[in-house]
Amino acid sequence: MRHVLRPLLPGAALLAALLPMLVAVAPPAGALPVDACMPLDLNDEAAVVERAEKVDDVFVGRVDAVVRRTAAHRVTVTTVLSGDLRLGQKITVVFDRSAEGSKRLLGERETHLFFTRDVGGAVRADYCEGSQELPGGLSAPMQRTLEDYLSGAPEPPARVALHTPDGGTEDPPRLSRIVAPGAAISLVGVLGLFLLARVGRRRA
């Protein structure tokens, strides 16, 4: 039985043979895979609070539909952790593009922890920091943990409004106004003594 030995491909021919496979697995130019985003450790209170302080709303939502052309996601709010959204509210979340111009697209029926901003009436999310997938949904212990994290975050300082009382403001009372009552009493006493002295002289 004879074995036929095939000649080895030279370097250029080998590279030409492998190039199609390399192109097939390489990401498109300018694309940033979502896996390149650093995941948020939900057990790290400082990291969660830091991310929450950058946005207006923090909530858990279910992705109902995705518009790939605009990276718009139709989301139903299932848990409100921070902000003024309502439970069960349906909103449209649009992710910012990455620095390379790629889109962030979530999967339908996925549950995510969202960190969103209100921008001109639209709900926007950062490409990487805008959401964290919750594969098994939001468990009760994790919900309590996140609520504790966010309830401990410092509240914005309350606004203090200064009002001018009716009739305008008055300057602090002058010393003469404060001393006036006592001076008047002293003057009355002096006048009384003067009158008594004159009456006594007339009788004399």
The residue behind tokens 């450790």 is 41
User: pLDDT for 53-89, tens place per residue?
Assistant: 999 999 999 999 999 999 999 999 999 999 999 999 9
The CATH code of domain 42-150 reads 2.40.50.120
Tokens of 24: 């097939």
User: pLDDT for 126-163, tens place per residue?
Assistant: 999 999 999 999 999 999 999 999 996 555 455 555 55
Measured N-to-C along each axis, helices 45-52 and 140-151 cross at an angle, to the nearest 10 degrees, of 60
Give strand pairing partners of 116: 57, 125
Q: In this structure, what DSSP letter does residue 167 have?
A: T
Q: What is the pTM of this model?
A: 0.59
